[in-house]
């Protein structure tokens, strides 16, 4: 029998699970992790009572393989999301300094198709950013259809650092919870799935990491004296995170509190949350053009 060209016999999309080595199957399903870490709408939070060093049932020995497997599946679904060009995903990462936002992004996104991924970091607003409302720069950075957008800090800074440092009056930042809920609702309605992760690190672990930054010439550039000012305001920041998460964890744009003292747990947990989000979207490969049967490439 003559071999058909791949174009003349388009294969049905291979179920993702069939492409994965079963010997490294997950010990915890994405759905179980999501259920465990998601903050229910309206829930009141006491971050001091939520463990920062939990392992969530993952095992360190198999964590690398499990992350690789999870990423393989994220990669396939991200390619489908990109091909579909109909919807997008926004992953928001917020945390205290040195909790590992950068490391999470590096570990989870490496290997994905860069054309479909957009990472945006938000620093203190300057120039035109400071001349507009606080959501202006955020909206402009939201992922286009087909894209996975990742925010390293976000509009939440406008109810966190802005509140803790008193940059605007309380009356002003308090109104922002409603703006944010409605802004995220609009994004959801228009085809962007929003998920938000708070990387929950302990104050002691942060001290170790900041010391390491100071001591390691390769990492010293990351150390800012201002990090110590924020560290001194730890309690105020925790109160600001607790209220922000309570006010803005919604059914469609939930918050997840991710234990972040162990990098391998943090990476796996965020990867599973992202995978779960993509699995629920279940993006479809577009229909091929009609009349491709029998085409011979010569």
Q: Which residues bind ligand ADP (CB under 6 A)?
A: 97, 121-125, 152-153, 157-158, 161-162, 224
> Least distance from C-beta 253 to ligand ADP, angstroms?
19
CA angle 181, 183, 188 (to 5 degrees): 90
CA torsion through residues 284, 288, 294, 298, sign: negative
Q: How many CA atoms lie within 13 A of 149 on its CB side?
A: 26
Token pair 């990423």: residue: 71
**Cβ-based nearer residue to ligand ADP, 82 or 198:** 198
Q: For the chain, what's the residue count?
A: 298
Helix (H) or strand (E) run with residue 216 in it: none
> Least distance from C-beta 270 to ligand ADP, angstroms?
16
- State both tokens at 48: 């001091």
> Least distance from C-beta 32 to ligand ADP, angstroms?
30
> Least distance from C-beta 154 to ligand ADP, angstroms?
8
With CB atoms as reference, the residue minimizing the distance to ligand ADP is 157
**Cβ-based nearer residue to ligand ADP, 74 or 105:** 105
**Cβ-based nearer residue to ligand ADP, 270 or 275:** 270
In angstroms, the CA 260 to CA 264 distance is: 9
**Cβ-based nearer residue to ligand ADP, 115 or 130:** 130
Give the number of other Cβ atoms within 10 Å of residue 246's Cβ.
16
Contact 30, 273 (CB under 8 A): yes
**Cβ-based nearer residue to ligand ADP, 41 or 125:** 125
> Least distance from C-beta 175 to ligand ADP, angstroms?
15
């Amino acid at each position: 029998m003559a071999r058909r060209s791949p174009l003349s016999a388009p294969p049905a999309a291979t179920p993702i699970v069939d492409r994965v080595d079963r010997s490294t199957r997950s010990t915890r399903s994405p759905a179980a992790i999501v259920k465990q870490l998601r903050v229910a709408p309206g829930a009141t939070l006491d971050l001091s009572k939520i463990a920062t060093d939990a392992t969530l049932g993952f095992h360190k020995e198999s964590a690398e393989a499990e992350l690789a497997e999870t990423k393989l599946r994220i990669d396939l679904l991200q390619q489908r999301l990109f091909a579909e060009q109909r919807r997008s995903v926004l992953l928001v990462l917020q945390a205290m300094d040195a909790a590992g936002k950068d490391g999470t992004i590096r570990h989870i996104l490496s290997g994905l198709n860069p054309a479909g991924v957009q990472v945006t970091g938000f620093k203190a607003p300057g120039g035109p950013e400071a001349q507009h409302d606080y959501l202006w720069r955020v909206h402009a950075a939201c992922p286009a259809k087909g894209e996975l957008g990742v925010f390293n800090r976000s509009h939440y800074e406008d109810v966190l650092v802005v509140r803790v440092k008193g940059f605007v009056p309380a009356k002003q930042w308090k109104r922002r919870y409603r703006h944010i809920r409605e802004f995220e609702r609009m994004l959801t309605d228009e085809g962007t799935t929003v998920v938000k992760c708070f990387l929950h690190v302990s104050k002691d672990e942060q001290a170790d990491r900041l010391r390491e930054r100071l001591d390691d010439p390769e990492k010293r550039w990351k150390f800012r004296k201002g990090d110590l000012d924020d560290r001194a305001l730890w309690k105020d920041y925790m109160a600001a995170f607790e209220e922000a998460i309570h006010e803005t964890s919604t059914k469609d744009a939930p918050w997840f509190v991710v234990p972040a003292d162990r990098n391998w747990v943090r990476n796996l947990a965020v990867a599973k949350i992202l995978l779960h989000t993509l699995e629920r979207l279940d993006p479809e490969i577009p229909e091929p053009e009609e009349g491709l049967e029998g085409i011979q490439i010569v």
